[in-house]
Amino acid sequence: YSSCIETPCMRLFFALAAAEGMHITGADCTNAFQQCPPPKIPLFLKIDEAYISWWNERHPERQLDYARDKHLVLPIQKNLQGLPSAGAAWEKHIGVILEEIGLKATTNEKNLYQGTYLNERVLVCRMTDDFVIGSASPETANAIIAYIAGRGVTIRNDGLCKRFNGLDVEQTNTYV
């Protein structure tokens, strides 16, 4: 389970950011579940023909044979989408990172964060691995994204937010 922002709370983020005249930057983590620690209980994956084909293309010096090697297993060293623990592990992992930079989840919606970063008030709305960051300057949002990336999370800076979680976002110098 990975919590998702509810639409009223997401709209509240945009309303607050607009009321405070914030610039809203979008960001997206890729392969989020794989970027957090592995499951606590050791987990193994039995290799199949597709894996052997992939391996043989990349390692011609050490070929595998399905008839001989189909019994082999691989240790899973990252969380994978579909594992029951993956969503909660990602949520904990990204929550710790956001707390490190002084952002705190709100009491009743753990996907909305607020705080101060680089002496600037910041609002963050998270939808699993997608983010919108409200800040007075795009540089502050860029610094937050860079911090997250510096903690080993692959994150793409999408710049000025135009769409988030199915919601079209229009930002001008007079309104959001």
The full 3-state SS of 28-62, as one line of letters, equals EECCHHHHCCCCCCCCEEECCHHHHHHHHHHCCCC
Give residue 41's pLDDT band: very low, low, confident or very high (50, 70, 90): confident
Give residue 1's pLDDT band: very low, low, confident or very high (50, 70, 90): low
Are the beta carbons of 21 and 136 closer than 8 angstroms?
Answer: yes
Exposure class string for 84-99: b at 16+ Cβ within 10 A, else e: ebbbebbbebbbebbe
pLDDT (0 to 100) of residue 33: 79
Strands 130-135 and 155-160: unpaired
116-146 confidence digits (pLDDT tens)? 999 999 999 999 889 999 999 999 999 999 9
What average pLDDT does this structure show over 59-74?
90
Q: 103: closest CA among 89, 117, 91, 118?
A: 117
What average pLDDT does this structure show over 144-160?
95
What average pLDDT does this structure show over 59-63?
93
pLDDT (0 to 100) of residue 59: 94
